[in-house]
Amino acid sequence: MWINNIHTIFVLLPFLRLKFLKVELLEELIENHKKFSKMVVKPCAEVKGEVTVSGSKNSALPLLASALLVEELILENFPLLLDTLYALKILKILGKDIELNPTLKRVRIYGEIKRIKVPYELSSRFRGSILFLGGLLGAGGKAVISHPGGCAIGARPIDQHLKFLSHLGANLTLKGGYINASLPKEVKNSNFVFDVVTVTGTENALLTLAGLEGEFTLENVALEPEVFDLLDFLRKLGIKILTHGRTLKISVPPKGGLKRRLTHRVIPDRIEAGTFLVLGSLLGNPLKVSGLNTDHLGVLLEKLEEAGVTLKILTPTEVEVFRSLPPKGLFIETAPYPGFPTDMQAQFMAMLSVARGSSVIVEKIFENRFQHALELVRMGANIKIKGNTAVIEGVKKLVGAPVKATDLRASASLVIAGLIAEGQTEISEIYHLLRGYEDMDKKLTFLGCHAELI
């Protein structure tokens, strides 16, 4: 009996520790991510084996904001990244309790909201913080938040978010750098058309409407898989949502008609999946990328095949990719989903730097998203930028050099370039990578490459 009790204690110890050290664990994980400033990457002859894709950052963030709508939310397949850890810290500041199990990739968020202000110190760290505007409004009708931070890839205005709220009749004021928002007792308008397609704008509107009663229509909405993951969650909550093209018909039941406790699994990160597929196209011998969703990767798989890369779709969650050196040149134009994602153009630019012939990338989403091109040029790439167009002439090889990660996806492109270059590459400002890629260094090491955080 005594031995059995001891065994039980050791089995339960990690969970007991999480129960009593919730805040400490969260802070420890944040500090562990923040302590690294560089990544050293050395040439990799091949990547062979299997890599598993983590949960989607861009799906987890709106789901974390939606935790404000319920008494308890359990998220599975939860990615441990700087952005998601900062979001958990915001929830903690707002009054929620957090239980995090890094081993199981599971987080439990519960308790009541005690505050409605998201401090600048956290909202300025990542773009997804703006989603707490919708989460707080949906939960209680009031929110105070500063302008979000994130990657310096363009203006990224939140005018559509505020225009939607004004359309509802919300009271909006700007004071001391903070947006103060409160919803009216009665909504003025139930139909809204976005001027441009915006992912976080669509998500914020959905989170806000979840706290209102009645019938609503949103037009010209974003169709990204991450938006549909939020739609699936809201349907579980009890909200009826019909989709027709870029139009959503939303029916919210009266107060008390929504579920208060939910469990939801975060979808796979399609951008991480695409990043490893690009790496496999250069070094795979072969590389199996598992845990993905092929339905989310249509245009990426098409472009890789157009470049001459050999792909084998083993199952809807597994793709095997073989290296194709050199790949063929491509023409790429970024566009809202289901078009080519802006979040993948940097990784493709690294691949096309060593492709046969010329390639052209036209960036139609953000006006300042070619900063990584200058860093690739430092490694020997032949890239010329004119406005929103990059022309890439393939070279035989890249050469390792000290470079700087200018944004999240730029950091991934430099890692890829470093792995195929001659000599060592040292990437500074690596916190960008840690904001959006979970255990990238460990996954690359497992595949036989040298990628060390320092």
Domain boundary among 238, 265, 292: 265
In a domain, 19, yes or no: no
Residue 273 CA: distances (Å) to CA of 318, 389, 435: 10, 25, 16
Structure tokens at 60: 């987890």
In a domain, 3, yes or no: no
Say how many CA atoms lie within 13 Å of 314 toward its Cβ.
Answer: 13
Q: Is residue 151 annotated as part of the catalytic site, yes or no? A: yes
CA distance 25 to 306: 46
Let me know if 71 is exposed, middle or buried by CB neighbors in 10 A (0-12, 13-18, 19+): middle
- In this structure, the answer to whether residues 259 and 377 fall within a common structural domain is no
In a domain, 18, yes or no: no
Backbone torsions φ then ψ of 140, nearest 5 degrees: -145, 0
For residue 315, give the nearest of 298, 292, 296, 285 by alpha carbon: 292
In DSSP terms, 174 is beta-bridged to 179
235 close to 241: Cβ distance less than 8 angstroms: yes
pTM for the structure as a whole: 0.92
165 close to 190: Cβ distance less than 8 angstroms: no
Report strand pairing: 38-41 vs 247-252. unpaired
**Of 151, 183, 349, 408, which residue is the catalytic one?**
151
In a domain, 47, yes or no: yes
For the CA atoms of 307, 40, 33, 132, the dihedral, rounded to the nearest 10 degrees, stands at -30
Say how many CA atoms lie within 13 Å of 103 toward its Cβ.
Answer: 3
- In this structure, the answer to whether residues 194 and 258 fall within a common structural domain is yes
**Structure confidence at residue 149 (pLDDT):** 55
- In this structure, the answer to whether residues 309 and 237 fall within a common structural domain is no
**Structure confidence at residue 419 (pLDDT):** 98
In the numeric block, the tokens 């960036």 are attached to: 363
- In this structure, the answer to whether residues 340 and 222 fall within a common structural domain is no
- In this structure, the answer to whether residues 162 and 277 fall within a common structural domain is no
In the numeric block, the tokens 């009996």 are attached to: 1
- In this structure, the answer to whether residues 414 and 288 fall within a common structural domain is yes
- In this structure, the answer to whether residues 258 and 376 fall within a common structural domain is no
Structure tokens at 323: 């290296």
Domain boundary among 244, 265, 286: 265
- In this structure, the answer to whether residues 50 and 62 fall within a common structural domain is no
For residue 427, give the nearest of 394, 443, 450 by alpha carbon: 450
In a domain, 14, yes or no: no
For residue 99, give the nearest of 129, 67, 124 by alpha carbon: 67
- In this structure, the answer to whether residues 46 and 92 fall within a common structural domain is no
For residue 36, give the nearest of 417, 427, 408, 414 by alpha carbon: 427
The residues near 385 (Cβ < 8 Å, ≥ 6 apart) are 370, 373
Domain boundary among 232, 265, 298: 265
List of long-range contacts for 185-189, beta carbons under 8 Å, 24+ apart: 187/212, 187/214
Number of folded domains in the chain? 2
Backbone torsions φ then ψ of 201, nearest 5 degrees: -65, -45
Which pLDDT tens digits describe the chain residue by residue (454 residues)? 343 443 443 344 344 344 434 557 888 899 988 899 999 999 999 999 999 999 999 999 999 999 999 999 999 999 999 999 999 999 999 999 999 999 999 999 999 999 999 999 999 888 899 999 999 999 999 999 987 754 443 445 789 999 999 999 999 998 888 999 999 988 988 999 999 999 999 999 999 999 999 999 999 999 999 999 999 999 999 999 999 999 999 999 997 899 999 999 999 999 999 999 999 999 999 999 999 999 999 999 999 999 999 999 999 999 999 998 799 999 999 999 999 999 999 999 999 999 999 999 999 987 677 989 999 999 999 999 999 999 999 999 999 999 999 998 899 999 999 999 999 999 999 999 999 999 999 999 999 999 999 9
Give the domain extent around 252: 57-265
The 10 Å Cβ neighbour count of residue 157 is: 12
Let me know if 176 is exposed, middle or buried by CB neighbors in 10 A (0-12, 13-18, 19+): exposed
- In this structure, the answer to whether residues 337 and 399 fall within a common structural domain is yes
- In this structure, the answer to whether residues 211 and 305 fall within a common structural domain is no
In a domain, 408, yes or no: yes
In a domain, 20, yes or no: no
In a domain, 21, yes or no: no
Structure tokens at 238: 């009890």
92 close to 23: Cβ distance less than 8 angstroms: yes
Backbone torsions φ then ψ of 79, nearest 5 degrees: -80, 130
Q: What is the CATH number of the domain that holds 440?
A: 3.65.10.10
Cis peptide before 286 (omega within 30 of 0): yes
**Structure confidence at residue 11 (pLDDT):** 41
The residues near 153 (Cβ < 8 Å, ≥ 6 apart) are 366, 368, 369, 371, 407
Backbone torsions φ then ψ of 332, nearest 5 degrees: -130, 135
**Structure confidence at residue 183 (pLDDT):** 97
- In this structure, the answer to whether residues 80 and 110 fall within a common structural domain is yes
Q: Tell me 124's DSSP state.
A: T
92 close to 100: Cβ distance less than 8 angstroms: no
Angle at 119 between CA 137 and CA 20, to 5 degrees: 95
